[in-house]
Chains A and B, each alone.
Chain A
Amino acid sequence: MSKPSDLVQGTLDLLLLKILALDSMNGWSISLRLRQISGEVLQVSDGSLYPALHKLEQEGWITAEWRASENNRRAKFYSLTRLGRKQLEKETAAWDRLSGAITQIVKLKEA
């Protein structure tokens, strides 16, 4: 995948919201988690992660606070806001609709 970021761009927001819905995390941990859950399929470069996070923050969907990390250094931890939870529901629903539709089409073609 030479440049998956375009494809991922819309879904990156959804992924980040989903990850943060489970737990509040700092940027580094999020990058690890992304790699871990999506394997090699979705590659998000370390660089483009931060603009995405800052965007969600500025939209008011996630909020940040500085606290000690697991190795006891200061790090910026993001967590979901009430607004973010609503957004997550909305985007999940939209994703379900879209992926469902695509799955249908793909199956049709196979048949």
Chain B
Amino acid sequence: MSWQRWIYIAPLRLRSLFRREQVERELDEEVRYHLERKTEEYIAAGLSSDEARHAAMRAMDGIERHKEECRDMRKVNWLEDFWQDLRFAVRMLRRTPGFAAVVVLTLALGIGANSAIFSVIDGILLQPLPYGDPDRLVIVWENNLRRSNPHNVVSPPNFLDWQAQNHVFSGMSYVSDLRGNLTGSGEPEQIVAEYVSVNFFSVLGVNPVLGPGFKTENGETGKDSKDRVVTLSYGLWKRRFGADPEIVGKTIELNGKVLTIVGVMPQNFSFFIKQGTLSGEKPELWSPWVLPAAYHHRKDIGRFMTVVARLQSGITTARAQTEMTAIATRLATEYPDFDANWGASVVGLREQISGDLRPALLLLLGAVGFVLLIACANVSSLLLARAAGREREIGIRTAIGASRWRLARQLLTESILLALIGGGAGIALAVWGTNLLLAASPSNLLDMEKVPLDWRVLSFACGVTLFAGLLFGFLPSYISARGAIAETLKEGGRSASAGRHRRTIRSAFVVAQIGMALVLLAGSGLLLRSFNLLVRVDPGFDARNLLTFTVTLPSAKYGADPAVLAFFRQLVERVSKIPGVRSATMESYPPMSGLGAATSVHILSQPAQAPSELPSAAVRVVGPDYLRTMGIPLHTGREFSATELAEMRHVALVNQSFVDKYFSEVNPLGQKVAVHMKSEAESEGQPSEIIGVVGDVRLIGLDTPAEPTVYWPHPELVYSRMTILARTSGDPMAIVSSARNELHQMDANEPMASVVTAEQLLSHSFSRSRFTTIVLGVFAGAALVLAAVGIYGVVAYTVAQRTSEIGIRVAMGAQRHDVLRLILAQGGRLIVSGIALGIAAGLLITRLMAGLLYGISATDPLTFAAVALLLMAVALLACYVPARRAMGVDPLIALRYE
């Protein structure tokens, strides 16, 4: 049936569209014919020809309206109208380029910022993780109840018991990373290798793109030392091995040990849980590792592994948590020495990975949403003002037969056109902004080099655009359509009722805008103050002109402790003699890297307790001249002597926090402490004597207060990986090549890793705060400007509307300051309501960002007062401009203005 209909209809539609003039002529002719016959009929009935013609017209009862109805029947009207509206809209916009530019810019800012933030959020929070069925993957931590650290790395014996006792995971796998020297085939380089349980890839549900991967026998006990195999990351395979397709079966040399390559992982594969890493960097190869028999006993090994597990289907994270808590409680009773006060935490993998960034990103998303809302309110307000100026035009159109819907459509077309142009500009801004955002973001936090602006982001942007267009197109249309036409025409385009509606709505917009701007400003102000506090924190050492780099000695080559000790002692000595270097030392971990070792200490003058009840302290191993090179003050006692730096003499320095916390009433000098870095028996047998107290250093990061710390000279605990620190007289980077020379003269196969200045490490430590602060600051600035434009628009419009009233007032004797007060009072009311609203909302909302703040409360009254004053000042300034114009009103001209 329907296709038959189209045989008749299609030619008609096409004709209506493309032969429009002919169709119109025929309509005219048809109606004229009818009128003529009717006129003839009336003449025949005895009327004069004039009377007859009028009577015929009357009988037709509104010819133009009926003609319009006929046109509507053609059903192609909307298309024609749309085309007409579009051309009209373009003409209107070209006539008011300033207005168009403000609207387009406002929208582009709102939409562009939204899309950019959304792209980044999408990349981090929404993109599927590169694992099979990733939603069922969880990280299982030990929960350190005493230090309230729910995400503590795991001890091997606990892992083995978890694995044996749980009924919620289909597989559990452990990971431990290590820095290694990759030698042979090219320059030696330091990379991070992850030693994993043999089921690691099957738990993650990932297969190599090349090669068979690990086999079960790689995980059998006793196979540990022979048949060593390794899989490479895609990046390492491309970079170091030129994407060799025949790579499987070849060997590499890691820390002097030969490993056979059995696979290359997919390009997007990586596994990096920052909280559990020792190296702090992404691993580039994976090798199976069987827990040695000694690791099955709690006395011998501490906590250091990250555990990833796959939930059985149908098991929720909460269910798994319940089970793991039960197991941990059992273990705590069974092994009170080791497991008392330790629980277990199960965290979804996604949550774990995005955890760091999530609050900051969600904050930005909220902020950017506010900016878009303000932008929409502004554009809506501008369109309303314009609709007011066009009341007369609209009144006339209505009078000659335009329907309300038709008029609304015309206004909608205009606003959608604006929205589309704004959206286009916004998308361009989004592409640019995404790159900018990534460039400005802390590189080690975001696990991505590029965020593609994919179709979902585009559709998000388009959705926002369309929504904005409809939102701010609809309101003016709706209000205009409600205007009483007759009154509009009578009053010369100043309908009282429509005007009042419009003013109320615009005033509401302004109040909302100011409120939202205040919330943004408050948030931004809090971040700024917190950032300022953070930057001013004294790290406890002098970061200027301090070069750091890391050297790792492979155990295969430098197995024995004396060789390692000698190597580093000689290296530090050589570096300290480089011209431009004032002094040099070394330390087990670079400062501010978020890395470090900590353990329990037994102060011999205090009663012995189970290890899990003992006080804890960070342990740093240092080289000669440490205090002077780092610029750390010696509070009391003495430094390590040359002998103590050369051989084990059981001495230690502690920091002020250690003293404050554990020796509140005793002189710490001469006290003996057993530092449990080695096996318990060994540690208790060789307690260290405290020979000095040094100033506190923020070792982990600027926002983390100093922990009680024990400093050991290198012989006490021979790390084969040390960070060399060189205090220079000029630019630290200038001595890098000399330092490399010295290193390579000692061993040409030793890479110099993580070359970075201490200032860079410092700045890195607050890069995330800086990132959030800058971005939110930009948004708050945009909000301030937009809100100012908004209130300016409203007040300027009122001044224009009230020109004659003001003229009369001036004519009656009102002074300039009376007029000023009149105008400012109106603006002031809006500003005060907006600010009150904003403070109320802000106090509720900023609480959500407490976690992002350092050293300041989320409801800090000073910040709120300051931003309220700032906003008030800017808004009043925006009112003052039109108010000045009002003061200058000449009564004669104003009255004639009618």
A residues with a Cβ closer than 8 A to B are 26-28, 31, 45-48, 50-51, 54-55, 57-60, 63, 66, 69, 73-76, 81, 83
Contact = CB atoms under 8 A, between A and B. Distances in A.
Contacts of B60: 45-47
B450 interface: no
Nearest to B38: A46
Contacts of B8: 60, 63, 81, 83
A72 to B, nearest CB: 12
A46 B56 CA distance: 9
Given A47-B61, A58-B12, A83 B4 contact: yes
A54 B29 CA distance: 14
9 interchain residue pairs of minimum CB distance: A60-B8, A51-B69, A54-B73, A47-B66, A47-B61, A54-B70, A28-B37, A55-B73, A47-B60
A62 B273 CA distance: 75
Given A28-B33, A48-B66, A76 B74 contact: no
Given A54-B74, A58-B9, A81-B8, 8 more contacts: A45-B59, A50-B30, A50-B34, A51-B70, A57-B12, A57-B73, A60-B7, A73-B36
Interface string B54-67: 00000111110111
Nearest to A58: B73
Contact of B33 (A45, A48, A75): A75
Contacts of A50: 30-31, 34, 66-67, 69-70
Given A50-B66, A51-B73, A54-B74, A59 B33 contact: no
A47 B34 CA distance: 10
B62 A47 contact: yes
Contacts of A31: 34
21 contacts: A26-B33, A27-B30, A27-B34, A31-B34, A46-B38, A46-B60, A48-B69, A50-B30, A50-B66, A50-B67, A50-B69, A54-B73, A57-B12, A58-B75, A59-B9, A60-B6, A60-B9, A63-B8, A75-B30, A75-B33, A83-B4
B12 A51 contact: no
Most buried by B among A51, A55, A81: A51
Nearest to B66: A47
Given A27-B34, A31-B34, A58-B9, A46 B61 contact: yes
A51 to B, nearest CB: 4
Contacts of B34: 27-28, 31, 46, 50
Contacts of A51: 66, 69-70, 72-73
Contact of A46 (B12, B59, B74): B59
B239 interface: no
- Determine which residue in A57, A58, A66 has the highest number of CB atoms from chain B within 10 A of its CB, and name it: A58
Nearest to B26: A76
Contacts of B73: 51, 54-55, 57-58
B226 interface: no
Contacts of A26: 33
Interface string B6-25: 11110011000000000000
B54 to A, nearest CB: 14
Contacts of A27: 30, 33-34
A73 B66 contact: no
B5 interface: yes
A73 B75 CA distance: 29
A77 B111 CA distance: 56
A75 B35 CA distance: 12
Nearest to B7: A60
Contact of B5 (A55, A57, A63, A83): A83
Contacts of B13: 58
Nearest to B75: A58
Interface residues of B, number: 31
A64 to B, nearest CB: 9
A81 B72 CA distance: 22
A19 B86 CA distance: 42
Interface in B28-50: 29-31, 33-34, 36-38
A48 B63 CA distance: 9
Nearest to B73: A54
A54 B66 CA distance: 11
Contacts of B26: 66, 76
Most buried by B among A47, A50, A60, A76: A47
A60 B5 contact: yes
Nearest to A76: B30
Contacts of B72: 51
A105 B349 CA distance: 73
A83 B66 CA distance: 26
A40 B179 CA distance: 103
Contacts of A55: 73
A58 B12 CA distance: 7
Nearest to A75: B33
Contacts of B4: 83
A82 to B, nearest CB: 8
B568 to A, nearest CB: 93
B70 A73 contact: no
B29 A74 contact: yes
A59 B5 contact: yes
A75 B73 CA distance: 20
Contacts of B63: 47
Contacts of B5: 59-60, 83
A45 B73 CA distance: 18
Contacts of A57: 12, 73
B13 to A, nearest CB: 8
A40 to B, nearest CB: 15
B61 A45 contact: yes
Contacts of A28: 33-34, 37-38
Contacts of A63: 8
Nearest to A31: B34
A55 B74 CA distance: 7
A61 B26 CA distance: 19
Contacts of A60: 5-9, 12
A46 B29 CA distance: 15
Nearest to B12: A58
A22 B7 CA distance: 23
A85 B415 CA distance: 46
A77 to B, nearest CB: 10
Contacts of B66: 47-48, 50-51
A68 B221 CA distance: 107
B35 to A, nearest CB: 9
Interface centre among B8, B9, B60, B65 (most CB of A within 10 A): B8
Contacts of A45: 59-61
Greatest chain A CB density within 10 A among B33, B36, B62 is at B33
A73 B65 CA distance: 26
Interface in B250-271: none
A49 to B, nearest CB: 8
A46 B73 CA distance: 17
B26 to A, nearest CB: 7
Nearest to A81: B8
